[in-house]
Amino acid sequence: MSNYTLFDLVYRTMREMGTLIEGTATGGSTSTVADTVDRTEADDTYNGGTILVTYDAGGAGAAPQGEYDQVSDFANTSGVISARTGWTVAVAAGDRYAVAKKKYSLAWVKQCINRALQNLGEVPVTDTTTITTADGQTEYSLPATPLDLREVYIQNNNDDSDDNQWTPLHNCKEGVTATGTANLLILPYQPVSGYAIKLVYGANHPELVNASDKLSEEVPIERVVYAAASIALMDKAIRIDPMIMTRINNLDDKDAKAAAFSPIRNLPAKTARIILAYDFTDRVIEDEPNKVYL
């Protein structure tokens, strides 16, 4: 699982857009960030903007690090930025934060990030939780989300989460069911019960909604950040000066380089499969290399 979250995407996208001002809190609460040193702007400068807590002074990555919110008020006299909803833990002196004006709102940047994700098209998705083998069952419901199933594996060791010993299943079939009902994964024999099935399929990246939602490990973060920043700036182009257009062109160039040097893994094409028969308790018991299934 990727360690990158929607918070990371928002922070890095807004940083690439050049909209963030960063600082160190001199204090705070569960609903405010105070900076009596650097926040000298006029009252209400950041109202409607975005506030992100980027670093917890304890150094352990604990909350409120990784949390963001919309700014409800900014007071010049005390350098206090008030958050609309607030944090799960109070902001403390030494915590670092980033703040942006409302020109590019938090909701807008999140929308641009999800647009960038959708523009990637299909990405590999791995599912190890939907299906577990059961006695007397060779047909299992696949995830309801539309998918392009490419690879199927069965767990050979269910005693150690770090040593699953995934074994390919080459002769499975996908059964089509009624409209609105999830398709079936059809196995050619009855496996031992209690073992996980791993599905690898192509699908659009799920929408990211919450700050803690994870980016797929199959997607390099720069593939999303540069594209999202470009989308956000370009959509405001009618009000943008030539220097911002230069930034957009630079982001497009970075995005192209990221596509070249950080490719997303291509799933194998669907082909005829060679059947391998397994004893799923411990070993391969039969090999029929000349038997081919479509």
Over 90: is that where the pLDDT of 34 sits?
Answer: yes
| Amino acid identity for residue 114 in this structure | N
For 120-155, write each residue's pLDDT tens digit.
988 888 899 999 999 999 999 998 766 788 899 999
Q: Is the pTM of this model over 0.85?
A: no
pLDDT at 285: 40
Query: In the beta sheet, which residues pair with residue 24?
Result: 96
Mean pLDDT of 203-221: 93
pLDDT, greater one: 226 or 173? 226
Among 13-17, 37-41, 123-127, 243-247, the minimum mean pLDDT is found in 243-247
- Coil, strand, or helix at residue 5? strand
Quote the CA–CA distance of 13 and 224 in Å, as a whole number: 8
Structure-block tokens of residue 103: 């020109």
Q: What share of the chain is helix, strand, coil (3-state, %, to 5)?
A: 20, 30, 45
Quote the CA–CA distance of 184 and 222 in Å, as a whole number: 36
Quote the CA–CA distance of 58 and 173 in Å, as a whole number: 52
Among 138-142, 205-209, 285-289, the minimum mean pLDDT is found in 285-289
Which candidate, 116, 101, 122, places its Cα nearest to that of 251? 116
Mean pLDDT of 69-92: 96
pLDDT at 178: 76
| pLDDT > 70 in the chain, percent | 88
pLDDT, greater one: 59 or 32? 32
